[in-house]
A and B are shown apart, each in its own frame.
Chain A
Amino acid sequence: MSEIEMKELEAIFDQKIANDEKIEPKDWMPEKYRKTHIRQISQHAHSEIVGMLPEGNWITRAPSLRRKVALLAKVQDEAGHGLYLYSACETLGVTREELYEQLHSGEAKYSSIFNYPTVTWADMGAIGWLVDGAAIINQVPLTATSFGPYARAMVRVCKEESFHQRQGFEIMMTLASGTQEQKDMAQDALNRWWWPSLMMLGPTDAESVHTEQSMKWKLKRKTNDELRQQFIDQTVPQAELIGLTIPDPNLKWNEETKRYDFGALDWDEFWQVVKGHGPCNKARMDARKNAWSKGEWVRDAAMAYAEKQELKLETA
């Protein structure tokens, strides 16, 4: 293909997206579009399945049967969401196994918030309320993203996820209206998860390398800083409602902008965790690698059995 032809194709492609038309897997797409999508969708999928681990940590210890089934169903949903996203990614010509390898080798990233430990039951509340809350803000615009399979997966994910945040908030609300010990537990969890949740919405716009291109391809509708502001504005009143304090002494309602001003984030910590130096990076990766390698004989057995059955059918 000549350079001129390529430019023409790209122009048609860009126009399609600008017209809000969807791109489907077999359509022509610039190589960069394919690569960016594999990277972003798989990163999203990895975040779902690594995200199962911190919450999975409390399934056997949930304090009531009602909480236990809700938590179990939520963690299971995350497996489902991982699966939908890996499937969307596979339409771009990469296999789930290859994506796993990228995760296990450290080549692929996942949301760094899952590298923090879940140390009390209140963390189940904080994760549902804050982490899922931040995730929803990120995800809802993606239901209208340009790549068809990603958009469809996100529609399904968002529909299922609507109970996740409520589940978390209800836990926090119950704790906040409980005994002093429970209130302290809730406040402590909010203190620990607040800042990582804000960072979860991505680096500041000035440092974000992908934003402009992502906007064009509708992988993003708002910048990280806009999303962060939106998250803060919606979460602060929720905390006030249940009597918890946001751990930011500089947090203040700004009458002029009609938004909250807030304190500086510790980006050094963020980058350290991204680079693998968070409290649980190693444990999370070990758990994933272990599950995969210990499952190998199981997957092989199923394939061997299927092949034998097929052979029986052929010779019968």
Chain B
Amino acid sequence: MKNWPLWEVFVRSKNGLEHRHCGSLHASDATMALENARDVYTRRMEGVSIWVVPSKEITASNPDDSAELFDPAKDKAYRHPTFYELPEELKHM
């Protein structure tokens, strides 16, 4: 007996917006995963498009590496518009 693998479900709620992760489910193959996603996650008009991805195909960053991966971005204030000083009179830029 083999269990149905796990899939991650991404739903685009309307055109113009990105697909967002909304949960997971079990299905034996991609076709079924799509159908199950439709039946489970779009019962209340939540979507116009669905992606399904086998959970095992996702490569995730390791939280133990968070410091070296994400902390170095913290002191790069010059990447943000507020870093730059502008004259008061200038209302929009």
Number of A-B contacts (CB under 8 A): 50
Q: Among the listed A24, A90, A153, A160, which residue makes an inter-chain contact with B63, where contact means beta carbons less than 8 Å apart?
A: A24
Measured CB to CB, the closest approach of chain B to A52, in angstroms, equals 15
**How many chain B residues touch the partner (CB < 8 A)?**
20
Q: Chain A 1-33, CB within 8 Å of chain B: the 1/0 string?
A: 000000000000000000000001011100000
Asked whether A87 lies within 8 Å of B23 as measured between CB atoms, the reply is yes
Q: Given the known A-B contacts A90-B6, A303-B4, are A156 and B23 also in contact in the complex, defined by CB atoms under 8 Å?
A: yes
Bound: A27/B62 CA distance, A: 8
A27-B63 contact given A300-B2, A302-B4, CB 8 Å threshold: yes
Minimal Cβ-Cβ distance residue in B for A300:
B1
Asked if B24 and A26 make an inter-chain contact with CB atoms under 8 angstroms apart, the answer reads no
Q: How far is the CA of A303 from the CA of B64 in the complex (A)?
A: 36
Instruction: Identify which of B26-34, B72-80, B83-91 touches chain A.
Output: B26-34
Interface of A is mostly: helix
Given contacts A27-B63, A87-B24, A302-B28, contact A80 B43 (CB under 8 A): yes
- Alpha-carbon gap, A309 to B22, bound state (A): 28
Determine whether the beta carbon of A95 is less than 8 Å from that of B63: no
Instruction: Give the total of A residues in contact with B, Cβ under 8 Å.
Output: 26
Residues 300-316 of A, flagged 1 when their CB comes within 8 A of B and 0 if not, give: 10110110011000000
Taking a contact as CB atoms under 8 Å apart, the answer to whether B40 and A80 are in contact is: yes
Query: 5 more A-B contacts (CB under 8 A) besides A87-B24, A299-B1?
Result: A87-B23, A299-B3, A302-B4, A303-B2, A306-B29
